[in-house]
Structure 1
C-alpha cells in the first residue's frame, strides 16, 4: 500500500548500499545467503541481514535458514520486499500484551512501523510536496470535513479551507462512512465509499470537488496535484483570555528539516514573546512526525530557562549497535552538511555518546510553566517525542484523542534502489518515561488533561473549536469544560461515533500515512 510520506534523504553512494558486497555474506553456511542470485534475491538477503544487525528487537528474529528471505515472491519486486518486511516485523513480541511490537490492529500481519520505500514517497520533509495539499476526516457518518489545507497547495489555491464539508467528489455524492469502527458496523461495512474517497484524494492526479462553506454556500472546484513549498506552521494566533491571561496557539503539522522549520518556529515564538503570552498551546493533532533534530529545536523553544542544560532524553539501540559492533552499516555512505563523507558505522550509538543523550539548550526567552498539547490518532513519533521530553520539566497537559503510539524511530538504510525503514531505536525522557506503544490517552493517570473530539467543523484557532475551547476554559477557570455528549438519536448536532469509535475511525483512515521519528543531527558526531 502506498504511504503518504515525504523525507529528504542523502542517497548512499552507488554500489555500497547492498549487503551483497560485505565479505561476511558470501559464505555457504545455511544461515547465510549465497552470493549468487537475482537483484531481488540479493535485496531480500540485505533486508534480512540489516535487520539482524540494526533492528531494535533483532534478538527475537529467526535465523536466515528459518526465515528464508528469498521465499517471498511476487511479480512486483516492491511487493515481495513489502511482504518480507511485514513478515519479519511480526517476530518480536512485546511482553506487555503478548502481541508483536509491530502488531497493527487495523491490518493484522502488516508492520505498524517498518516499511520499504521505492523512492516515490520521498521528498517533502525538506519543504517540498507534490500532492493536492489537503486532508479530511468524517465528522459524522454522512459528513466529511476538510481537516487541513496547506497554503499555496493546489487545494489552497482552489479556495478550500479547514472545516468545509465535502459534498461530492468527481460528481459522486455517495461518501458516507461504511466501515467498521470500535466494533460497530456502519452502512454495509464494505468500505466502498471510504476507499473511493481515499483513492480520489490520495491516489489521483486530478479531482473535482464540491464543498459547503460554514455559511451554507457551496463551492465547486477542479484542481490537479502540483509542487508547492510546505510551511509546517498552519496557523498561529494570540487569544486574550482576560484576567491577565494571553494564550499563544499554533498548529505545527510536520517536523520538516531544520532548514525549513526552524525559521518559521522562531517567528512564531518571537511573536508570542513580544505579545507576552502566559499560556502556550501546541496543536499536533495531525502531525505524524519527522526529524528528531526539529523536535529537539521545538522543545528548546518551549522548555523553561531554569531547565537549560538538563537532560532532554536518552536513545536506546540494540545490543550490537550500543556496543558499537556493527559491521554492515559501513556500507551505508552519507555526506554531512559540509559535504564530508562518512558511513553509518562511524556513528557512536552507545549511551556514552552525547549524540544519544542530548540536553536542553534553551532557545529564545519564553518562560512559561505549562504547555497544552492538542493530540489525536494522527499525532505520532517525533510529535510524541516532543511531548514526552517535556513531561518531567514542566506541566504538560493533553487535550484530544489518544495519540498513535510510536516510541521508536529509524534511520534510512539504502538497499539498491529501495530504502528500508525499520525501528532501530527507542527513547525515554529524563524521568525514564517511554514505551507508549498504545498511545498517550488524555485524562488518564500519566497524561493529565481532557479527552474529547476533534472539532473539525471549526477552523484552527477558533475559540469555539471543541478542543481549543476546553483549553481556554481551563486557563480562565482552572477547570476544563465538560466533554461533548454522544447521542445516537437525531438532534441538532447528532454524533454517530463514540470517542473510542472516533479514534478507531481516524486510525484506519491514517493507516497509509507516514509516521516517523528520523534519527538525524544538525552536525553528525562520529566516533573518535
Structure 2
C-alpha cells in the first residue's frame, strides 16, 4: 500500500496555485469580467460591503500578466490581463474564506489602496496575552524567489546569516553563521563578525537616505556577480575588510553534525537551520551517524531555524524517537476557521492528523518511498532556541511533548507561531496568510507567546530547561559555546550553569571604536535598512501535508 501525499502546497515542485473545493482558476460569471482571451482588459470589479464573491472570478487577472513558459510548474503561466482591483478583490475573497481569524478583519473598500497596502490590512489587529500582535506572519514574496528557495535551498547573496540587533542607528548586524563554500565563507567571514561599513558607508551610524540605499543595495544584491566591500570588527577586536561577490548560494540546512564525548556518554549534536527539501537526506545522514555511535543524548540546535515543511518536522520527530515511543500517536492536528470544521479549505479533503512520517518522502512526486527512516529511540532531547526558533521548529517541540518525550529547552524564548498557511500564488506574488493552527496529540497548541525555558515550569508553554545567551564568541558546535556548554552541563549534572560563554558582547568587541555617535541623539533615529532576518521561508513557512491511503 502506498501513501500518496498529494499535498497541499505542492511538496514542492508545482506552482502552488492551490484552491479548495468551490475555488479554482477558472472564471465564473459576475463582476470579475471575462477571461483574457478576448484581447482586452476586463472592466474593474466593484466592492460591495459584506458581499464576498467567489475568488475564482478574480484569480489570475493581473495588472502585469506573466507570459511564456512557467519554469517551475510546466506549461504556461495562467495570467490574464486584469486590473489592480481584480487582484485586490481576489485577495479579499480568498482571505475571507481561508483566513483563520477572518471575523476579526475589517471589510475596507480596497479602491483607494495599493495591492501590497491592501493585503497588509487583511489581518487581525488583536494581541496575545503578552500584548504582541496575534498575527505577526502576514507577508508576501516574489513567487519565483520563493519556489527557488523552497525547492532547492538556493538564494542570492553571500551566504551570511545575520543576527540583527537593530536596523536603525546605531545599527547592529552580527554574523551568526555562513553557508559552507559560500562567497562569505571562502573569503574568511566568521561567526561573531560585527558589520562596520558597507562600500565605505558607515553602517552603524549613517542616517542619510542615500547611505541607506547604498547599504541595502549591497546587502541585497539584485544579481549574481555583484562586488561589494564589507568591513567588520572581529571577536578579537580587529578590523577586517572583504570584497564579496554575490552568487546563488545553496543552503546547507544541517551543519556541524558531530558526536561529543561527555561524562554522561556520547552526545549527538547538529545545527539545523531550515525545514526545506534538501534537509531530508542531511538529517538521515546525521541520525545514522548518531545511531552508529550509540549516543545517549541528543542536542538539536534550532536557534536560527524559522520553520519550513511540517512533513519534514514529522519525519525528524520519528527519527528522534521511533515506533516504540510514538505508538501510533499523531504529530500534529490542523484546525481551520469555523467555516471548515471537517474539511481542508485549500485541498477540500477531510481533515486528518499529520503523522510522524516513518519513511522517506519524494517531495517532487509527493509520495512516500518504501525506505524506512532510521531512528534513535530517544525519550529525551535537548533543543537550543532563540526568538528566531519558529513555526515548524516549535511544532517539532510540541509534537514530541505530545507523546511524552521530555524536551529540555536551552537558550531563549521561541517566537510563538502555532499557526501555518498554504503559500498561494497570484500574478507572480506568493501570499502568506494564517489559515490554520496546530495542536499536538494531547490537544495542546497554545504557545502564541513562545516556549520559554525555565527551571520551574508553571504554565503550559513553560519548558524545563535553562536560559542561556547566544554566545557569538565561539563557533557553532564548539562545546565551549555558551548554549551548547549549558546543554552539556545539564546532561552531566541535571542543573543549569550559573554563567556561560561570553555572550553577544564578545561579538562586537569594543564598541567605543565604532564611532562617537553610538549613543545620544543619533540613537534609534534615521531610516531603517532592510532586515535580512525577515526571510519568508526561514522565518514563517509551515507546509501542512495531507496523506491519503489508496
Q: TM-score, normalised by structure 1?
A: 0.74
Counterpart position of 1:375 = 385
Counterpart position of 1:10 = 14
CA deviations on 1:21-45 (whole Å, 9 max, x unpaired) are 2447669893246979952100100
For structure 2, the 5+ residue unaligned runs are 1-10, 33-44, 62-81, 359-371, 513-527
Work out whether residues 259 and 295 of structure 2, in 8 Å CA contact, stay in contact via their aligned partners in 1.
yes
Work out whether residues 471 and 501 of structure 2, in 8 Å CA contact, stay in contact via their aligned partners in 1.
no
Aligned residue runs from structure 1 range 66-105, under 5 A: 66-72=107-113, 80-91=114-125, 93=126, 96=129, 101-102=134-135
Distance 1:131 1:255 in 2: 20
Q: CA deviation at 1:240?
A: 0.5
Higher RCO, Cα 8 Å, sep 6+: 2
Confirm whether residue 134 of structure 1 aligns to residue 157 of structure 2.
Answer: no
Work out whether residues 311 and 354 of structure 2, in 8 Å CA contact, stay in contact via their aligned partners in 1.
no
Confirm whether residue 266 of structure 1 aligns to residue 284 of structure 2.
Answer: yes
Confirm whether residue 303 of structure 1 aligns to residue 309 of structure 2.
Answer: no
Distance 1:287 1:43 in 2: 33
Considering only aligned residues, what root-mean-square deviation do their CA atoms show, in Å?
4.1
Q: CA deviation at 1:391?
A: 1.4
Distance 2:267 2:233 in 1: 30
CA deviations on 1:6-57 (whole Å, 9 max, x unpaired) are x966226799998782447669893246979952100100001001111111
Aligned residue runs from structure 1 range 19-418, under 5 A: 21-23=27-29, 30=48, 31-32=51-52, 38-62=82-106, 66-72=107-113, 80-91=114-125, 93=126, 96=129, 101-102=134-135, 112-119=136-143, 121-122=145-146, 123-127=148-152, 128-137=154-163, 145-172=174-201, 175=204, 200-202=218-220, 205-211=226-232, 219-242=240-263, 244-257=264-277, 260-308=278-326, 309-324=328-343, 344-345=347-348, 347-348=349-350, 350=351, 353=352, 356-359=353-356, 361=358, 363-392=373-402, 393-418=404-429
Q: Pick one of 434, 446, 464 that aligns with 1:448.
A: 464
Work out whether residues 472 and 503 of structure 2, in 8 Å CA contact, stay in contact via their aligned partners in 1.
no
Q: CA deviation at 1:262?
A: 1.2
Distance 1:384 1:518 in 2: 10
Work out whether residues 370 and 395 of structure 1, in 8 Å CA contact, stay in contact via their aligned partners in 2.
yes
Distance 1:116 1:458 in 2: 35
Distance 1:48 1:299 in 2: 37
1:385–1:494 Cα change, 3 Å: farther
CA deviations on 1:400-456 (whole Å, 9 max, x unpaired) are 111111110011222233222111111011122212111122115321111121001
Distance 1:238 1:68 in 2: 59
Work out whether residues 88 and 119 of structure 2, in 8 Å CA contact, stay in contact via their aligned partners in 1.
no
1:193–1:449 Cα change, 3 Å: farther
Work out whether residues 285 and 378 of structure 1, in 8 Å CA contact, stay in contact via their aligned partners in 2.
yes
Q: CA deviation at 1:116?
A: 2.5
Q: CA deviation at 1:194?
A: 9.1
Confirm whether residue 481 of structure 1 aligns to residue 497 of structure 2.
Answer: yes
1:489–1:113 Cα change, 3 Å: closer
Distance 2:325 2:418 in 1: 23
Distance 1:159 1:21 in 2: 55
1:494–1:474 Cα change, 3 Å: farther
1:164–1:410 Cα change, 3 Å: same
Q: CA deviation at 1:274?
A: 0.9
Q: TM-score, normalised by structure 2?
A: 0.72
Aligned length: 455
Distance 1:265 1:366 in 2: 12
1:221–1:316 Cα change, 3 Å: same
**SS in structure 2 of the partner of residue 322 of structure 1:** coil
Q: CA deviation at 1:247?
A: 1.2
